[in-house]
Structures are given as structure tokens and as C-alpha cells.
Amino acid sequence: MQYFGSQAKRRNARRNCIISLKLPNSLRDELKTPLGILLKDTTKENISKHISKNSYIITVGDATTEKMLNYGFIPSLQIVDGHEKRGKRTPPHSTATILYCDNPAAQITTQSIDAIKKALSSKPPIQILVNGEEDLLVIPVCIFAPENSLVLYGQPNEGLVIVPITQEIRNKTKNLLNRMI
């Protein structure tokens, strides 16, 4: 993996070991700041104003994915874990092809990055069902998503975040990933 912060992790990744990067306490506050536009009004009409017809829509989170499906949007990539606000729930039902990966809480695994890459190169829609926690997968998704992508995720108790993928967002998320340990 080319985005790991330490040489040792790069060597392990080349050996195809499943490794993970852990979220250091120093990044927790920074990650509370939305990466994109925070919509407090999450009605279909308001969300629609931010989505163009040709957008490649990526959702991260069960509630966000379910909301978009209920509004009639079919996200090209849906990343869910069967949890919402730390409580267990049924993952959103979708006609998407399902991929699986392991990704423990507060970590990003090479397995999850590989699943994201595979999903992005497959015929949509694809749903990645995560065994663990999907929250931090917003970071690698922003790095690898195609140019016309919009990444949507929930900001707990605040609303919905819409992140248009730009080189600036890629650089910011690469920097975040490189600072994980």
C-alpha cells in the first residue's frame, strides 16, 4: 500500500499481510470536522440540489445508505456494517452485489482498502458489508473514488455530509491516512 505512514507497514503490505492502521487520539478531534458540505436539512429535495445526474454516489454508513435508497437514489458503492450509533441493526436492503471485509473499530485494514478498490472497479451497484466498523472507510474511499464521485456519510446528531471528490480532498485524506499508526 502506498499510503501507509511507516516503512515497516509498507514492507508488511508488500508481503500481502492483512495489517491495519489505527486512529491515534491526536486525529480524533480533526475527524469531527466534516470533510465536505454539512446538510442539516436532509430532505430529498435538499439533498437532490447537491447531486448531479452523472454523479457516482458513494454512501458510508447504514442510515445514510438507507436514506438514499428510500429517496430513490441507488448509490454505486454502499459501505455498511449493520450498526447505527453503536447499536446493531439490519443492513439496508439493496439489489447490489455484496462484498465482505473485516475492519475493526477505529482502524483501516488493507482488506477493507482492497474491497473498496475492487468495488470501484466492478459494475455498480456494490455493497461492502463490513465486519467491524465502517466509519473511517470514508478516508480511503475519498482517495480512490473516481473524479465525478460524491461521498455521503452521516455526521452524528448533526446531519449529512456530502464530499465532492477533488484533488484537494484526495490530498487531505491521504494526509490523514499517512498520520494513522
160, 42 in Cβ contact below 8 A?
Answer: yes
Domain extents for the chain?
A: 7-178
109: CB partners within 8 A, 6+ apart: 18, 19, 20, 101, 102, 103
Measuring CA to CA, how many Å separate 95 from each of 17, 22, 30, 138? 32, 32, 35, 22
Question: For residue 154, what are the contacts with CB-CB under 8 A and spacing of at least 6?
Answer: 61, 63, 64, 160, 161
pLDDT of residue 17: 60
Query: What does the pLDDT look like over 19-75, one tens digit per residue?
Result: 899 999 999 999 999 999 999 999 999 999 999 989 999 999 999 999 999 999 999
